[in-house]
Chains A and B, each alone.
Chain A
Amino acid sequence: MTTAADSANGPLELLVVQPTPFCNINCSYCYLPDRQSTRRMTSATLEQTFRWVFASGLVQAPFTLLWHAGEPLVLPVAFYEQADELLRRHNADNVPVLKSFQTNATLIDADWCAYLRQPDIHLGVSVDGPAFLHDRHRQTRQGQGTLDRVLRGIHLLHEHGIPFQVISVLTQDALDYPDELFDFYQAHGIFSVAFNVEEIEGPHTTSSLQQAGTPERFRRFLRRFVTLAAEAEPPLQVREFDCSAAALLAGRPPKELSARTQENRPWGIVNVDCAGNFSTYSPELLGVKSLAHGDFALGNVAVDSLESVRTSGRFQKLEAEIEAGVNLCRASCTYFPYCGGGPPANKYFENGTFASTETLFCRLHKKVCLDVALELLEANGRAGHSA
């Protein structure tokens, strides 16, 4: 079993920075509690964030800087150019940093394309497929669909030769339409897709995927979609299959079964909001308060060192509960060797405690994905004894 001390120092793999909580659209399943706020991160907070991160000792290897949790493109390009400069200034050892943006693509224009075409930038575009799926959930505050604007952004990305990956949120109604989604990706030059299931998180307290029979429906959807994707020319990459297949084929050696995932291990992820408040574990926890744990923001980059937070009773209590949850997963779930324990945010929002096991996310995004990957690998004769 691991202890808090064993895994206390990261390493940092993902730095999630929220330049603003504001989002220019209003998706029905959004988990951000404060997405109408137009606050933005100041230059001083931005600099304190990078200073804090590189002084923390958590940076031991290349990591990803993800601009997310709010629509990052509502801030001007100049903000990110300044961020790049500050990052360079504080990254004294020149640790490789992959910059990543998760955007709804509605604000992409030629200026953004000129910036986003840098080779060390990874771009994720959120789009849920054809209008009858996308526009049902991804709407403006006036209730208008946003697909037309998203497609304009995607068209510009293609024009400027900027590669991107797509994230689509699957709701109950989408599970009937794998062929239509496949057609949509093919029609719009999308070659890499990730499916997020509609999760229960933050203010989004229910999911259409809670309906009885959903795991089997999701299984049928994924099986059909992955089969179509594999036959495409070029093949369409599907994150859920690729990650699950990799986990199955590699497995986890017994000595690594005690290791925790990026999301349930302390300081594998650091999340910083626009005011400089920071948290670790699941990004969805930042900005949320709990009766048992108080604010999941554990400190502020302006005033709190990593060490002071790590030794605080609040962090110790949080870590103990999350670790207990991972240990429960390890003891009770046959999928643990390929999963490493469920995300803390899902456990908290669904089960009310981190010291718990299965969630809707587990049932769909872990178990079904692994099952389908195994089934397809075996069907293709590639599983071998390792799976």
Chain B
Amino acid sequence: MNLAWGYHFTVAPRFHLAEDWASRLLIGSAEENDSWRAPTAEELLSLLLAATQGEVCLFNLPDHLRSRCWHLLEQGAAALGDGRLPGFDDFATRLRDFFAFKTMPFPENACCELVVCQPGQPFVPAGSRLWGALNLDETATSLVLDQPGVPPVRLVLGPGEGVRLPWGERAIKGCSGKPEPDVLLAIVFPNC
């Protein structure tokens, strides 16, 4: 088994997640689609040790920001005409302020995209690279990191939880295992 994923998972500094968050990491099968298992102790060590260059940082969004986003969605659903959600720019500014406070600012040229996608489908907008993503839904979803040469890794994200990715990742997709669409916020570098 090649354990060199080239990245490891950690909770972002100045964020708090439940202590058992690592139990939500699953390893996929290269041969069989949608077959997931808990990592072995050796695999888990590899996924958590800080010896690799890439760091997948887990975080969670405060409830007041997530509520604000849903409020916008509820208020703006009827007003959506040109694809711009009224008030979303203000929300994105608040989000930017929040991450700046946590000393995990997202880059100046990154922008926020609300994404509603079918389970299992790539959700990064075409031509974009991903800085991070978070689950805005009330139910858990999963992100799958699928890189060549290593088994895919699935991370279950609870409501309001998200990840910052190290590479500007393209090989990531949603995987909730539920029939309803996922509601995600993608923070992307556009047009890359």
Residues in chain A within 8 A of chain B (CB atoms)? 130, 132, 176-180, 182-183, 186-187, 220, 224, 228
Contact = CB atoms under 8 A, between A and B. Distances in A.
A334 B62 CA distance: 38
Interface of A is mostly: helix
Contacts of B102: 176
A317 B69 CA distance: 61
A254 to B, nearest CB: 40
Contacts of B64: 179, 182-183, 186, 228
A132 B65 CA distance: 20
A65 to B, nearest CB: 37
Interface in B52-81: 62-65
B16 A186 contact: no
22 contacts: A130-B16, A132-B16, A176-B14, A176-B102, A177-B14, A177-B16, A178-B101, A179-B62, A179-B64, A179-B65, A179-B101, A180-B16, A180-B62, A182-B62, A182-B64, A183-B62, A183-B63, A183-B64, A186-B64, A187-B63, A220-B101, A228-B64
A220 B14 CA distance: 13
Nearest to A227: B97
Contacts, number: 25
A256 B16 CA distance: 47
B91 interface: no
**Interface hub of A179, A180, A187, A224 (most chain B Cβ within 10 A):** A179
A176 B101 CA distance: 8
A183 B60 CA distance: 12
Contacts of A176: 14, 102
A176 B63 CA distance: 16
A372 to B, nearest CB: 14
Contacts of A228: 64
B98 interface: yes
Given A130-B16, A182-B64, 7 more contacts: A176-B14, A176-B102, A177-B14, A180-B16, A186-B63, A224-B101, A228-B64
A182 B14 CA distance: 15
Contacts of A130: 16
B60 to A, nearest CB: 9
A176 B60 CA distance: 13
A224 B14 CA distance: 15
B176 to A, nearest CB: 24
A179 B66 CA distance: 12
A179 B98 contact: yes
Contacts of A186: 63-64
Contacts of B62: 179-180, 182-183
Nearest to B98: A179
A176 B62 CA distance: 13
Interface string B90-113: 000000001001100000000000
**Interface hub of B62, B65, B102 (most chain A Cβ within 10 A):** B62
Contacts of A132: 16
Contacts of B65: 179
The 7 closest A-B pairs by CB, nearest first: A179-B62, A176-B14, A183-B63, A132-B16, A183-B62, A224-B101, A183-B64
A220 B101 CA distance: 8
A58 to B, nearest CB: 46
A224 B64 CA distance: 13
Interface in B101-137: 101-102
Contacts of B14: 176-177
Nearest to B66: A183
A220 B98 CA distance: 12
Contacts of A178: 101
Contacts of B101: 178-179, 220, 224
Contacts of A177: 14, 16
A286 to B, nearest CB: 37
A192 B142 CA distance: 38
**Interface hub of A180, A182, A187 (most chain B Cβ within 10 A):** A180
A174 to B, nearest CB: 11
A183 B16 CA distance: 13
Contacts of B98: 179
A228 B94 CA distance: 11
A121 B182 CA distance: 50
B75 to A, nearest CB: 15
A335 B122 CA distance: 57
B85 to A, nearest CB: 20
